[in-house]
Chains A and B, each alone.
Chain A
Amino acid sequence: MAPVAPSRLGLWEAVRVGLRSLAARKLRSVLSALGIAIGIASLVGVLGLSESSKSALLDQISALGTNLLTIEAGTGFGAGDAALPETALKRVGRVATVEAASAVYSIDVGAYRNELVPADRTGGIQVFGTDPGLVRTLNGGVAHGSFLTAATTSYPAAVVGSVAAERLGIRNLDQPVLLYVGGRWIEVQGVLEPFALAADLDRAVLIGDSAAESYYEVDLAPSRLYLRVDQEYLDETRGVLGATVDPENPEEVQISRPSDLLEAQAAAESSFTGLFLGLGAVALIVGGIGIANVMVMGVVERRGEIGLRRAIGATRAHIRRQFLTEALTLAFLGGAAGILLGVAVTYAYSAVQGWRVIVPLAALLGGIAASLAIGAIAGLYPAIRAARVSPTEALRSA
């Protein structure tokens, strides 16, 4: 007679046996997989949403350009309120890598809707003189009317920032709008869209520099310069600008890059992502404990089944493998559901926000890997216990 052939159970058979066992306890299986699903969904959702929102922010930054610099007078030691030299704009224009430059000059008057408004009710609106190139330098847009041109720069005409327009009650320019600025009537010829990189100009009333000189007492020292610089030579240009603007006191010239702020915002959002990922990981661990709990209960409840399987030829290893496979299958199904949920949430929220949807591949693969790892850890102890169940005891006590 031939030797007795060993027992065997293929991997696929083990998966099928596991699926059948899970299907026999549907509600319990679904509930125990739910924890993993929620954990993975939150991981995928958080990663997807943070990537999508960051990409939206980066898109905005690159659309606005990271090559905008602003130059202000710093407050140097013993310098009091330092001012930029009157010739600052001309000088920076001589730097070869400066593509465009505009200046704003502060005019110390208020802008009012009419002469009856008390002088102290400025509404936080500042009046600046500027040149026609400002909007182009800032990549800004005009909502109504037009910006200052070479023709209007010496006339009593003004362009109003978006916030200033709202505060002054200017909705559109269908009817001519006059403002009472520094004891003189000035016509509004344009309303601007918000500036992303120069938010303080949103609260400004802008007048042509020649007009400002003729009608008001203007300090011709610019309050601020806006520069577009060749992106490739940004750092080099930044290095020479201080001495160019004010050769005597280069250290009192303060140069900044507004897009740094947006990048800081992106970085701040990333740090929140870390926090939410941590919360997702906690959900995942709790989900794993749920699976372990259900599997341990299953070992006790299914002693009869374990005993029977041993009686029809299962080895301890087969029993161990079956329970481990069940835990892995449960965790995998939970993880897959979680990924679908997380991607759906990312799509839905990005669609509402108008973001480009980005679901990082690492989140998907990581989600599957994490759920399988959790399933393996959660299933290991119950599987070892199930394999240790004595078949005779199992058949007697079941």
Chain B
Amino acid sequence: MNRPRENLAAPEPEAPAIELREVTKQYPGSPPVTALDRVSVRITRGEMVAVVGPSGSGKSTMLHVMGTLDNPTSGSVLIEGIDTSVLDDNSLAAIRGRRVGFVFQRFFLLAGVPVIDNVANGLLYAGVARTERREAAEAVLDRVGLGPRMWHRPEQLSGGETQRVAVARALVHDPAFVLADEPTGNLDSEASQSLMDLFASLHGEGRTIVVITHNESIASALPRCLKILDGRLEQDTEALAR
């Protein structure tokens, strides 16, 4: 699946990590559902951002658009200065596979498959040999404190541990950004706190992190918070601070 090189734009070192310009996302239907309404936001490298808002406000859509899982109906999305609207499916997949790490509320681990291979799957499409994938998975599992559990199957782990496995999978290819969609939604408060501590330490390593959350106390603890309501950006704490 090698595409001609000219299809692959090079990231610009000085550009913001993620920038949304007047992004609108409509889902077809009668009437059409507007999930995002002219949202503009700029996230610089190494920022840690919380996204809050009620259910159905468009948080997940924004996260998916930021991660190139979804294309906006209008407006543009720039990842490290690259305008994603001009990229084809292969190039977008490459960005997701190399630069972005996703964490979901419902983990999406393969049942019956050992933790180490679930994590190694994060590199499945990166053209890395199987043994190297496992080595990388082992290292990142040690990093999230699950080294001793790597041969367990996901169904043998607690909720907090399972989400750590999912985080490890998101980290195994050393992404520049981690996009997390309610990662603490299925966890108790202790596991949530421990997971947020993990995100904080990833942030400390210089990664850009965007976390969707329902939890007010989690959101208020983060340096920046975006409030979404009915698809519009209602409040941006950074903008207030300026």
The total number of A-B Cβ pairs within 8 Å is 129
Which chain B residues border A360 with CB–CB below 8 Å?
Answer: none
Within 8 A of B (CB), among A337-383: none
Count the B residues whose beta carbon is within 8 Å of the partner chain — how many? 46
Are A313 and B61 touching (Cβ within 8 A)? no
Are A2 and B122 touching (Cβ within 8 A)? no
Are B90 and A312 touching (Cβ within 8 A)? no
A125 and B95 alpha carbons, distance in the complex (Å) = 94
Q: Could you say which of A3, A20, A316 has the most chain B C-beta atoms within 10 Å of its C-beta?
A: A3
* Known A-B contacts A312-B97, A312-B169, A391-B70; A7 and B90 likewise in contact (beta carbons under 8 Å): yes
Which chain B residues border A313 with CB–CB below 8 Å?
Answer: 93-94, 96-98, 124-126, 173
The residue from A24, A307, A312, A315 contacting B111, defined by CB atoms under 8 A apart: A24
* Known A-B contacts A1-B10, A3-B10, A5-B127; A311 and B91 likewise in contact (beta carbons under 8 Å): no
The residue from B1, B99, B169, B173 contacting A6, defined by CB atoms under 8 A apart: B1
Closest CB of chain B to A9's CB: distance in Å? 5
Closest CB of chain A to B60's CB: distance in Å? 7
Which chain A residues border B124 with CB–CB below 8 Å?
Answer: 9, 13, 17, 309, 312-314
Closest residue on chain B to residue A311 by CB atoms: B102
What string of 1s and 0s marks CB contacts (under 8 Å) between B88-111 and chain A?
Answer: 011101111111101010101011
Closest CB of chain A to B220's CB: distance in Å? 27
Q: Is A94 engaged at the interface, CB distance under 8 Å to the other chain?
A: no
Are A6 and B96 touching (Cβ within 8 A)? no
What interface size band does chain A fall in? Answer: 20 to 34
Are A6 and B64 touching (Cβ within 8 A)? no
A interface with B by C-beta (< 8 Å): 1-10, 13, 17, 20, 24, 304-305, 307-318, 390-392, 395-396, 398
B interface with A by C-beta (< 8 Å): 1-3, 5, 8-13, 60-61, 64, 67, 69-70, 80, 89-91, 93-100, 102, 104, 106, 108, 110-113, 121-122, 124-127, 130, 169, 173, 181
Other than the given A20-B113, A308-B102, 12 more pairs (CB < 8 A) read A2-B10, A4-B94, A4-B99, A7-B94, A24-B110, A308-B104, A310-B93, A311-B96, A311-B100, A312-B102, A392-B69, A398-B106
